[in-house]
Amino acid sequence: MVQKEALTVLKRYFGYTSFRPGQEDVVEALLNNKDCMAIMPTGAGKSICFQVPALLKSGLTIVFTPLISLMKDQVDGLRLQQIPATSLNSSLTSEEFNKRLYEVRSGRIKLLYLAPERLELEWFCNILRSLPISQIIIDEAHCVSQWGHDFRPSYKNIAPFVKTLPYKPTVAAFTATATAEVECDMKTLLALEQATVFVTGFDRPNLYFAVEHVSNRMHYVLTFVQSHVGKTGIIYCITRKDVELVYEMLIKSGVKAGYYHAGLPDDVRKKQQELYAYDKIDVIVATNAFGMGIDKSNVRYVIHYQMPRNMESYYQEAGRAGRDGGQSECILLYNGRDVMIHKFLIDQSIHDLQRKHIELTHLKQMTDYCFGATCLRHYILRYFGETQLGWTQCDNCSACHKSGQRVNLTREAKAIFHAIAGTDERFGLTMIASIVAGDKTERIIKQRFDQLPIFGALSDMDDREIKGLIKQLIATGYIASSVGKYPILSLNVAAEEVLAGLGEVEQIRPTVVAKKTAPFKDSGNTRVIGSAKSNLLTNNHMSLFEHLRAHRKQLATEAGVPPYLIFPDTVLIDMASMKPSTLADMYTIKGIGEVKLKKYGMSFLKALGNYKD
């Protein structure tokens, strides 16, 4: 059980009467000065795990985090709750930097946010060594691993720095996504081999996952966005050019959109991010440069215009939807050109052979996800090591929502397996597809593959169908595909069992795709909106919710902070549903702490009183 003081702090500052199960264990460890590593999904409340102990401990908590935007968001949110926090980063003027540093050295600050690059400055390290540091927190800790998707070499400076401190503080590392390789690297490179590891699971049940194989992605995006007017979304693109093309298309169509990529001037990027954070635009189109600093809680959908390079990137970016627990959609638009682009970028930008092999392996796993015929959520969770799930269908992804006829594809699969075996497992997808299609190319004739018994066995299928089937057989584990510039296909045990007559290959051919669960779902005259507990709001309550949102936006504008830092949508939903009439009533709503109650309580009670049905 956590200490009583921790629960008091939790309610006073954050408005909750109890910790979530995963949070409680981490808080307990830190309060007992035990090093730990916590792997918790986006939206699980990682920050509270170290912020509560920081307020209860006598010294300073240093939080290493990779982005200035993330620091600002965290510090602004803490200061709104009258928690003494600050950051020191390269965006500050000399005067601002020195003022904040003075506050830190005089003991007025409880949480100090830094980028790990700061540790490259010896004079700054000397200042840190003179401070009473009680905790060192490493956020986005996967950045230390080259197996991770956001590798930052500067993270390797943290462990050596800790060893130079006059006394050892408690060290804790946090991340949302980590495979076994990344977890091992974090332990070693952050000197946390003896630390307690907490893994709370990767599932985000409020997120609907879908993969769409579409030929006209621009049309799909426009149709989707126009059907979600007023909802906050992110559209991720691989290239800057695509970001600008999609952005221009949305603007011309009257959508309130912004754009963001690393090629923009700093002031333009800052302006675009502020427009999005302050709810002045609904959608932002961005490369992954619009990354870990996004803490906006009410994102209702994330569209990946192209397939990301790896599953870690995808899950973290998709996970920016529904941080408030509301139902949200994560759509990935796939096109074969995506793989070619990623391979080109990997080849051009990565010269270390080991790192290149890692990236190509991740790319293959991501491609398998896009071609899998089984539950997408199941694939994601198994990828991150959750193998004992007890279920194979989530009923909340595009694969599970497919309805149609179960088709036996054993004949077609056997033809492909025989072609791979008959060519001694020496060729890739294109050659195998050409053989079973019966293409008499110069290369096939020269190799005498046109003499194989299986040659032309699938001549009744077109090239795209055959290649699609081969990719599905790879994704479902029948065929193995090597990593490299020219991947080679080979047979797994499952394929050999099919060839031996010990198994069959089946697939559901969709006839109708079931309607996806929308983030705001109509149910008669009632709408399901918000958190996983699914508060039921009548149309009347929905109107009150929008009234409260408008009031929140006005308060945020006056305070100069993003609206979601005042209160997340889930708090406003509860207000609209419960209609508190006193401050005592309002204090019972989850997410309203003592500080914010004093600051905003009367204002929202007045807004509730002014509302006209």
158 and 9 in a single domain? The answer is: yes
pLDDT of residue 426: 92
Last residue of a domain, one of 381, 397, 413: 397
| Angle (deg, nearest 10), helices 353-371 and 311-318 | 60
328 and 414 in a single domain? The answer is: no
CB 288 within 8 A of CB 263: no
The CA distances from residue 488 to 146, 355, 356, 491, in Å, are 25, 20, 17, 10
CB 114 within 8 A of CB 121: no
527 and 551 in a single domain? The answer is: yes
410 and 347 in a single domain? The answer is: no
Tell me the residue type at 496.
Answer: E
CB 126 within 8 A of CB 89: no
Q: Where are the beta strands (DSSP E) in 323-362?
A: 328-334
350 and 388 in a single domain? The answer is: yes
Place of tokens 């759509």: 331
Intervals of the chain under pLDDT 50:
1, 511-536
**Helix, strand, coil share (%) of the chain residues, nearest 5:** 45, 15, 35
Task: Give the angle subtended at the CA of 465 by the CAs of 445 and 346, to the nearest 5°.
Answer: 80
Burial (CB count <10 Å: 0-12, 13-18, 19+), residue 51: buried
Place of tokens 């950045």: 143
194 and 217 in a single domain? The answer is: no
Give the length of the chain.
613
531 and 420 in a single domain? The answer is: no
Which tokens hold the place of 247? 């952005």
9 and 158 in a single domain? The answer is: yes
Task: Give the angle subtended at the CA of 567 by the CAs of 589 and 558, to the nearest 5°.
Answer: 135
Last residue of a domain, one of 397, 424, 445: 397
Q: Dump pLDDT digits (tens) for 62-89.
A: 999 987 777 888 898 899 899 999 999 8
Q: How many CB atoms lie within 10 A of CB 312?
A: 25
The CA distances from residue 137 to 25, 182, 193, 228, 239, in Å, are 16, 18, 16, 38, 33
Here the CATH number for the domain that contains residue 357 is: 3.40.50.300
Cα 586 to Cα 580: distance, rounded to the nearest angstrom? 5
Number of structural domains found in the chain: 4
Q: How many CB atoms lie within 10 A of CB 351?
A: 8
DSSP assignments along 85-108, one per residue: EEEE-TTS-HHHHHHHHHHHHTT-
Which tokens hold the place of 92? 């500050």
Last residue of a domain, one of 450, 482, 513: 513
260: β partners? 286
Domain containing 589 equals: 521-610
Give phi and psi for 235, each to the nearest 5.
-120, 115
Burial (CB count <10 Å: 0-12, 13-18, 19+), residue 523: exposed
51 and 133 in a single domain? The answer is: yes
66 and 180 in a single domain? The answer is: yes
DSSP assignments along 180-218, one per residue: HHHHHHHHHHTT-TTSEEEE-----TTEEEEEEE-S-HH
Here the CATH number for the domain that contains residue 588 is: 1.10.150.80
Q: How many CB atoms lie within 10 A of CB 238?
A: 20
245 and 389 in a single domain? The answer is: yes
Using DSSP, state whether 360 is helix, strand or coil: helix
Looking at 350-480, list the stretches that DSSP marks H as alpha helix, in order from N- to C-terminal side.
Answer: 353-371, 376-383, 410-422, 429-437, 442-447, 463-475
DSSP tag of 589: S
pLDDT of residue 532: 35
CA-nearest of 195, 198, 245 to 221 is: 245
66 and 141 in a single domain? The answer is: yes
